[in-house]
Structure 1
Amino acid sequence: MYENNLILDLGIDRDLPETSFLTDFLLDCQVRNFSPRTIQSYKSNLKYFLSQHSIDLTPEVLKDFLVHIRGKKHYSPSTVENYFAVLSSFFDWLEWEGVIEKNIVPQFRKRYLRYYKEQRHEERQLISLEQMRALIDSAEWIGWKAMFIFFAKTGIRRQELIDLDLKDLYIESRYAVLKPHAKRSNRVVFFDQECAQILEAWLSWRQEHKIKSKTLFVGVQGSRISRDAVYETTTEHAQRLGFHNSKSRLHEKFTPHCFRHWFTTWLRRSGCPRSIIQELRGDSRKEAIDIYDHITQIEIKESYLRYIPQLKTNI
C-alpha cells in the first residue's frame, strides 16, 4: 500500500528498471525525514542513472557515467558532485539492505571527484555593508525589499524563506518560526527594528492590495513565491549594481545563498560568539560539547541584537 502511494506521489515510471529498489529507497528517505524537494531531487537523479545502468555497479560504469555528464551534459562541478552524492546514498542503502555486498561509490568519489569538490568549495562573494544597503534600497517593490532585508537579517536558506507563512511571523516580538527542515536544528530566527519596519510596510501593502495568500512572501501573481523567482530577482538586482556576473565564477556571483554568507561573516566580524552564530544559523550540533552547551533563546536574541549590522535602509 505504501509503495503504491509513493509511486503515485512522486510520479515514478512503473516500467523503469530497478523501480522497486528506487521506490523503497525513496520511502526510506521519507522515513528519515528528508524534505520533499530533496526526495524529488534524489528521484530525478537516480531515475536518469537507472534508465541507463543497473545496480550491478563497477568502476567502469561510474567512469563512463562521469565522462557522460561531464562532457555531453556539460554539468557544473556542483551538479556533478551532487549526482555522485545521490548515487553514494542510494548504494549505501542497497548495502544496508543486503542487496549488494559493498558500496564502491565513496572510493570512486575520493579518487575521481576531488577536483570537483575543490571547485565546489570556491569562496562565495562577500559584499560590503554599503553594497547590502544599496541592494535593499534598489528594490522598486516593497515585496522584494522585504525579502532582501529578511534574508540579510536572518541568514535563512532560500527554501526556508519560501516556506514561511504569515502565521510563522511574530512581528511585535521580532522573530519567526521556520518550518521543520532536515538541515536545521534551531527553527527560531530573530530580526531587528529596521527589518521589522520594512516587514510592517510589506504587510500593510498586502492588506491594501487584498493579498489573500497565507504565505509570507509572494510573487507578482500573489501566490507563494517560487525558487526561480527568488533567484532571478536577487541576481537581477545585484547585476544592476555591478556585483553579479552570471558568466563568471562563484566569487563574482551574488545568489540567494550569498545572503547567508553575508549574515554569518558580518556577525563574526562584529564579534558575535561562534556558538551564538551556530544557533542563529540553525547548524546541527555534531560535537558532544555542543550538544550539552544549552543556550537560551533570550541569550541568542540579546547577542543577535547586539551584533547584527545596522544598514539604515530606506522604507
Structure 2
Amino acid sequence: MRALRGIASSRGMTRESIRRHLSSVKIFLDFIKSRGLTIINVDLHILWDFLQHIVEGGAKYKTIENYFSALLSFYDYLAFEGIVDRNIVLPFRKRYLKRYKSVYDDPQRRLLSVEEMSRLVNSIMDPRDKAIAVLLAKTGIRRGELLRLDIDDVNWENYSITLKPTPKRSNRIVFFDDECARLCVGWLRVREKLNPPTKALFISYQSLQRLDRNGLWNAIIKYARRQDSTTPSRRA
C-alpha cells in the first residue's frame, strides 16, 4: 500500500484521490481474502465477482470506474515488480466496464409505472415469485439484499425487515405493508412444506437452497416479458 501511495503521488494525484485509491484497493484485498485468495490468484472470474459485489452494494458507474482505476494502477505495480505475470485488470476494464456503462446510460432502462407494476404483479401466480416482486417494489431493497434475507430478519410485530449490513446502506431497517405481509405469509406456508435445510427466506424449488442471482432473474423476468415490459440484459 505504501508503494501504491508513492505511485499515486508521483502522478500528481490529490490527497483525496490517493485516499480513494487506497480505500478501493483495501476493499478489493478484503474481498479476495474473504474468498481465501491472494493477489496472485485473481483471474477474470474473481474480477467479475468483485464487480457484482460492489454493484449490489449500490455503487454507481463513476464509483465503479474509480475502483478499477485504482486496481489498474495496483496491478501495474505488481506486474512491474514481477509479483504477477501481467496486469489482468486492463483487459477486464476495457471489455466489461464499457458494457456496464452502456447499461447505466441506456435510455430504455426506466422505472415501471404504478399501472405497469400492478399488471406485472397480477400476472404472477407462483407464491414465491409474487412475494418477491411485491417485496422488491414496496421496500425498494436491492436484489442482493433480498437474496441474503433469512426468515429471522423479518419482524412480524411491526412489519419490518432488518437487512444484512452493506457498505452503501446506513439504514438497514425497511418496512412493508399488509399486502406484502399477506403474500409473504402465503409463500412461507409453501416454503414450510418444502422443508428446506436453510434459513433463507427465498429458496430455489430445485435445490431447496438459498435462491441465487440467476434464480431470481428467472423468477421475475419471464413475467416481465409476458407483459412486454422493458427488460435489461442479465449481464451487461
C-alpha deviations, 1:255-304, integer Å up to 9, x for none? 79xxxxxxxxxxxxxxxxxxxxxxxxxxxxxxxxxxxxxxxxxxxxxxxx
1:45 corresponds to 2:44? yes
Q: Any gaps of 5 or more consecutive residues in structure 1? A: 1-24, 49-79, 244-251, 257-315
Q: Which amino acid aligns with 2:157?
A: E
Aligned to 1:120: 104
Work out whether residues 154 and 189 of structure 1, in 8 Å CA contact, stay in contact via their aligned partners in 2.
yes
Instruction: Label 1:193 to 1:255 Cα distance change in 2 as closer, same or farther (>3 A).
Output: farther
Aligned to 1:236: 222
| Aligned-residue identity in percent | 31
CA-atom RMSD in angstroms: 4.3
Q: Which amino acid aligns with 1:120?
A: Y
Q: Which amino acid aligns with 1:193?
A: D
2:209 to 192, 215, 223: 223
Instruction: State the Cα distance separating 1:186 from its structure 2 match.
Output: 1.3
Q: Distance in 2 between matches of 1:211 and 1:175?
A: 23
Q: Distance in 2 between matches of 1:144 and 1:189?
A: 20
Work out whether residues 25 and 70 of structure 2, in 8 Å CA contact, stay in contact via their aligned partners in 1.
no
1:163 to 148, 156, 169: 148
Work out whether residues 81 and 116 of structure 1, in 8 Å CA contact, stay in contact via their aligned partners in 2.
no
Give me the TM-score of the superposition, normalised by structure 2. Answer: 0.60
Q: Which amino acid aligns with 1:29?
A: I
Instruction: Label 1:229 to 1:114 Cα distance change in 2 as closer, same or farther (>3 A).
Output: closer
Q: Any gaps of 5 or more consecutive residues in structure 2? A: 1-22, 48-60, 82-88
Work out whether residues 235 and 255 of structure 1, in 8 Å CA contact, stay in contact via their aligned partners in 2.
no
Aligned to 1:89: 70
Q: Which amino acid aligns with 2:70?
A: S
- Secondary structure of 1:183's match? coil
C-alpha deviations, 1:69-97, integer Å up to 9, x for none? xxxxxxxxxxx999965541214546999
Q: Distance in 2 between matches of 1:119 and 1:180?
A: 26
Instruction: State the Cα distance separating 1:162 from its structure 2 match.
Output: 0.6
Q: Which amino acid aligns with 2:209?
A: S
1:144 corresponds to 2:129? yes
Larger radius of gyration: 1
Instruction: Label 1:114 to 1:138 Cα distance change in 2 as closer, same or farther (>3 A).
Output: closer
Q: Distance in 2 between matches of 1:45 and 1:81?
A: 21
- Secondary structure of 2:174's match? strand
Aligned to 2:58: none
Q: Which amino acid aligns with 2:105?
A: H
Work out whether residues 163 and 215 of structure 1, in 8 Å CA contact, stay in contact via their aligned partners in 2.
yes
Instruction: Label 1:36 to 1:176 Cα distance change in 2 as closer, same or farther (>3 A).
Output: farther
Instruction: Label 1:47 to 1:206 Cα distance change in 2 as closer, same or farther (>3 A).
Output: closer
Q: Which amino acid aligns with 1:231?
A: W
